[in-house]
Amino acid sequence: MKVLITGGTGDIGSAASKRFLELGWDVHIIDLKDEMDMAPVTYAKCNIMDFDDLKEQMEGCDAVVHMAAIRAPTIAPNPEVFRINVAGTFNVYEAAAQLGIKRVVQASSINAIGCVWSIGDIHPQYFPLDEEHPRFTTDSYSLSKQMVEDLAEYFYHRDGISGVSFRFPWVYNREKHINEGYFERMRTNRDNVLALFEQSPEDQKKRLERLKTEVLAFRKTRPLEYAQVKDRKHPFAQDHADPLWRFYAFDRFDYWVNLDDRDAAQAIEKSVTSDYEGSHPLFVMAPKNTLGISSRKLAETFYPEVVTWKKDIQGAEALVSSDRARALIGFDPQYQLSLPDA
């Protein structure tokens, strides 16, 4: 069996390539980097916007794993984010359709529902979040991920291509992304949140209302778009007198979830090899939140307007559900990056 991985030199693509090799698959990678020796993987420099070259690289493959994309609105202007992510994805599916390939899986994002990059507040309707939750996007990257899910459904109806659109959270490589500085920041965040829990209800409410007003005013200026980021310090580095400001401004918008790249690779492999039909957006998350704090307490504190719980969750269990991925493809995350339960 042979699989093509677009964007295969990236973090998730590399992890998926390794997993397919371990299973005895032939792996062909395309990316924008110059020619390189990746034996036993074969590699070709190919731009997914070049349809003819893309189709040629796909010939002889049994499945396609599509990871190539602009991965954030901070990286490129909005028109380029839309062009590469949406038109490029159309090219991938169209090439597969013309070649008769019936299994294509791709990277969508948790942002397909609208969260991390939003220019305003986010409005979860219930917890834990699942694939039925409404989508409400306000940035070019998140819109592109919403649209590639629709493209996948279109190609299932039109050409019978089945697959999964993975709503990945932040996917990390343990060796590349995680160091003591990361854990120190997480410990500081947890200490600040636990200190907030100790405040009186009145003081806590006033503080959170002030933070919300300031953070939403900040996000309204669209600081996470390329036009704002390219000529100045990255907005993630913003300082503020309140030690919870950065946590409220950024961490609150990702629901405190993440995923190890090895578990991402497991999900991709199972989405290629499992027996199913249809087009399926799927959340895939580590089992627990990053802080090791009660998820219900986090939700009640930082999303007090949410009163509906679709199921009971225990302890630090993630606020975004992977149940559908477990049921459809047997997703079984093995790695957890979080602080010990508080």
Q: Which of 181, 328, 258, 252 is nearest to 12 (CA)?
A: 258
Query: Which two tokens mark 172?
Result: 């990390």
Local confidence band at 79 (pLDDT 50, 70, 90 cut-offs): very high
DSSP string across 239-290: --SSTTHHHHHTGGGGTT-EEEHHHHHHHHHHHHHS---SEEEEE---SB-T
Q: Is the peptide bond before 128 cis (omega within 30 degrees of 0)?
A: yes
Query: Does residue 337 surpass a pLDDT of 80?
Result: yes
Local confidence band at 268 (pLDDT 50, 70, 90 cut-offs): very high
CA distances from residue 205 to 195, 217, 314 in whole angstroms, order as listed: 14, 18, 25
From CA 284, how far away is CA 280, in angstroms rounded? 12
Q: Which of 286, 316, 280 is nearest to 170 (CA)?
A: 286
For 86-120, what is each residue's pLDDT tens digit? 999 999 999 999 999 999 999 999 999 999 999 99
Local confidence band at 233 (pLDDT 50, 70, 90 cut-offs): low
pLDDT for position 231: 67
Averaged pLDDT score across all residues of the chain: 95
Give percent of the chain above pLDDT 90: 89
Local confidence band at 232 (pLDDT 50, 70, 90 cut-offs): low
Contact 67, 7 (CB under 8 A): yes
Local confidence band at 239 (pLDDT 50, 70, 90 cut-offs): low
CA distances from residue 15 to 8, 63, 139, 167, 287 in whole angstroms, order as listed: 9, 17, 28, 17, 20
For 136-183, what is each residue's pLDDT tens digit? 999 999 999 999 999 999 999 999 999 999 999 999 999 888 899 999
Local confidence band at 340 (pLDDT 50, 70, 90 cut-offs): confident
pTM: 0.95
CA distances from residue 335 to 49, 268, 307 in whole angstroms, order as listed: 35, 15, 30
For 123-138, what is each residue's pLDDT tens digit? 999 999 999 999 999 9
Domains of the chain: 2-173+257-287+308-329 (3.40.50.720), 174-254 (no CATH)
Query: Does residue 241 surpass a pLDDT of 90?
Result: no
Residues in the chain: 342
Query: Does residue 234 surpass a pLDDT of 70?
Result: no
pLDDT for position 330: 99
For 277-314, what is each residue's pLDDT tens digit? 999 999 999 999 999 999 999 999 999 999 999 999 99
Q: Is the peptide bond before 134 cis (omega within 30 degrees of 0)?
A: no
Task: Strands of 91-156 (E only): list them.
Answer: 104-107
CB under 8 Å to 255, separation ≥6 — which residues?
110, 115, 124, 129, 169, 289, 318, 319, 320
Q: Which of 275, 289, 203 is nearest to 244 (CA)?
A: 203
Query: Which two tokens mark 81?
Result: 């984010």
CA distances from residue 242 to 136, 187, 231, 245, 249 in whole angstroms, order as listed: 29, 16, 26, 5, 11
pLDDT for position 339: 76
Task: Strands of 161-236 (E only): list them.
Answer: 163-167, 170-172
Contact 27, 3 (CB under 8 A): yes
For 14-45, what is each residue's pLDDT tens digit? 999 999 999 999 999 999 999 777 789 999 99
Query: Does residue 56 surpass a pLDDT of 80?
Result: yes
pLDDT for position 309: 98
